[in-house]
Chain A
Amino acid sequence: MNDPYQVLNISPDATDEEVKHAYREMARKYHPDNYHNNPLADLAQERMKEINEAYETIQRRRRISSGAGAQRQTDGYSYQTSSRDPAMQQVRLAISRGDISLAERLLNSTAVHHAEWNFLMGIVCSRRGWMDEARRYLETAVQMEPGNAEYHSALAALNNEGYRPAGFRGVSTANYDSSVCMRFCTAWLCCNLLGGGGCFFLPC
């Protein structure tokens, strides 16, 4: 295993408080909620495991009682592979295997578009990066079956802000401070350009 201090990106003489802080920050960064329905979820899970192990090793070495640490966040979301409808069951299995095109083919060959169909279509779109359609399908699924927690949590995951380091929180396209934006838009002055590159003959 790698040096646990290196994994948490801190020096070996960091205080207990610093260790805890570094661990919390990283756990926030790789939290499963940030990688909901994301094709890179397995990599994030690996990272999460690494930092959990690193943190535990450091704790053990420093003989800190286990109750003092930050809460462990290993498993957040596990994809349900069971369904009452056998056709949808097939789709769920295909998604859990990562075979998105098979899942899509199966969905397209189904005539009845009930709530679960919309939900699974939303998952397929979101795995492919088709975020606009994903949202529409998931919203339809929630509308058709408002009591279903699985559909709700998938839709909520789309609205999850994800990890941001300190100082960058709460920024979004819709609420970006436009006074900062003005400074930012002239930022390119700092770098001397050779006449704006290709833009002038590629007015796309």
Chain B
Amino acid sequence: MFGYIRPAAHRLPAQETERFRTAYCGLCHTLGKRYGFAARFLLNYDFVFLVILLSDGTEAACVSCRCAAHPLKRRCAMAGQRALELAADHSVVLSWWQLQDQIADHGFWAGLPYRLAALLLRRAYQKAGARVPQFDRSVCRRLSELSHLEAERCASIDRAAEPFASLLAEIAQHVDEPDRRRILQHILYHLGRWIYLIDAADDFAGDVKSGCYNPLRYRYAVAGDELPQEVKQVLAQTLDESIRQMSGAYALCDYGVWTPILDSIFYDSFYGIGQAVLSGSYHKPTRRELFRIKQRDEEEPL
């Protein structure tokens, strides 16, 4: 997962963004507690979204704690939820296999940072793999399916998105209630499809330059390193279809205290992020920018 999904803050009152932050801090602490300090760096927004989707909608207990990022200020972190543990286990396994994929894709020198990261995460992965062995095996299998599709330059975006989408859908297995499980399965499948396609659009220019497989290039037969406007229109349409599938499924399920946050995500964020990625105004902040923004953030607290 790549960290695309965040609530639409302009739609939410402060107490709701604060609630989202408790889930964020909660996952970070759970990762640290279960898998050691290095695993905390795996934290991203998509995994926080997963925590919320897996939770049962009741008000979660909070513990006040400090962390390396905010050593002075005590913060409230969500605790004691099974959703946190499940999301932590799955995120470690997913990130590990993503690292392996990167190592395989890059040469010796370019792959060194990934090898180093994998070395740091090895213990964490072994633990997580033992906790969710079935998921671990599926990720491995689906990744090899994906590399077959990549090798044959698959021209179907649905087929290319299938391995990642089905993989995410498997996480729903941990929900006990059958109807809720089916609903979550449907949400996660289309979430995976949406993330995969958005990521393909986001990386389009880079993939063309480096000669990496990008499904959009083959599906829409794009010659240059930029997606033409009419292709973006068609892509936006198919992204919307996945979002509507997700929001339709979401409407069937009661998410209790998370409803305002999830409303903002399902009915707004997905569209906004999609638009930002397609128009090129979305970008992942670099480490340096993050540091600068963090400093500014600390100077003028919101």
Contact = CB atoms under 8 A, between A and B. Distances in A.
Nearest to A158: B241
B302 A190 contact: yes
Contacts of B24: 191
A201 B7 CA distance: 24
B3 A199 contact: yes
Given A34-B248, A164-B267, A173-B240, A198 B44 contact: yes
A40 B279 contact: no
Contact of B294 (A47, A192, A200): A192
Contacts of A39: 182, 186
A111 interface: no
A185 B251 contact: no
A30 interface: yes
B143 interface: no
B9 A187 contact: yes
Which of the listed residues A172, A173, A184, A202 has the most CB atoms from chain B within 10 Å of its own CB?
A173
Contact of B6 (A173, A187, A195): A187
Contacts of A200: 286-287
Nearest to B270: A173
A172 B95 CA distance: 31
Nearest to B238: A132
B17 A165 contact: no
A107 to B, nearest CB: 16
Contacts, number: 201
A85 to B, nearest CB: 26
A21 B287 CA distance: 50
B203 interface: yes
Interface in A176-204: 176, 178, 180-185, 187-204
A199 B251 contact: no
A195 B45 contact: no
Nearest to A38: B248
A183 B69 contact: no
B241 A131 contact: yes
Contacts of A100: none
A160 B243 CA distance: 12
A143 to B, nearest CB: 17
Contacts of B290: 193, 195-196
B251 A174 contact: no
B61 interface: no
Contacts of A203: 284
A196 B9 contact: no
Contacts of A92: none
Interface stretch (B35-43, B49-57, B79-87, B131-139): B35-43
B281 A202 contact: no
A106 interface: no
A199 B44 contact: yes
Contact of B156 (A132, A191, A199): A132
Nearest to A39: B186
A174 B275 CA distance: 6
Interface string B1-29: 01100111110000001001100100010
Contacts of B20: 191
A124 to B, nearest CB: 12
A192 B199 contact: no
A49 interface: no
Interface in A41-95: 43-44, 47
Interface in B219-237: 219, 232-233, 236-237
B41 A197 contact: yes
A172 B6 contact: no
B10 A180 contact: yes
A163 interface: yes
B24 to A, nearest CB: 6
B65 interface: no
B248 A188 contact: no
11 contacts: A35-B248, A40-B248, A130-B159, A162-B248, A164-B247, A164-B267, A168-B263, A168-B268, A191-B21, A193-B69, A195-B290
Interface of B: 2-3, 6-10, 17, 20-21, 24, 28, 40-45, 67-70, 95, 98-99, 102, 113-114, 117, 156-159, 162, 165, 179, 182-183, 186, 189-190, 193, 199, 203, 219, 232-233, 236-245, 247-249, 251-252, 263, 267-276, 278-279, 281-282, 284-287, 290-291, 293-294, 297, 302
The 6 closest A-B pairs by CB, nearest first: A187-B9, A130-B158, A176-B275, A197-B44, A168-B267, A173-B274
Given A184-B273, A195-B291, A196-B44, 8 more contacts: A40-B183, A43-B252, A47-B252, A132-B238, A162-B248, A187-B6, A189-B297, A197-B43
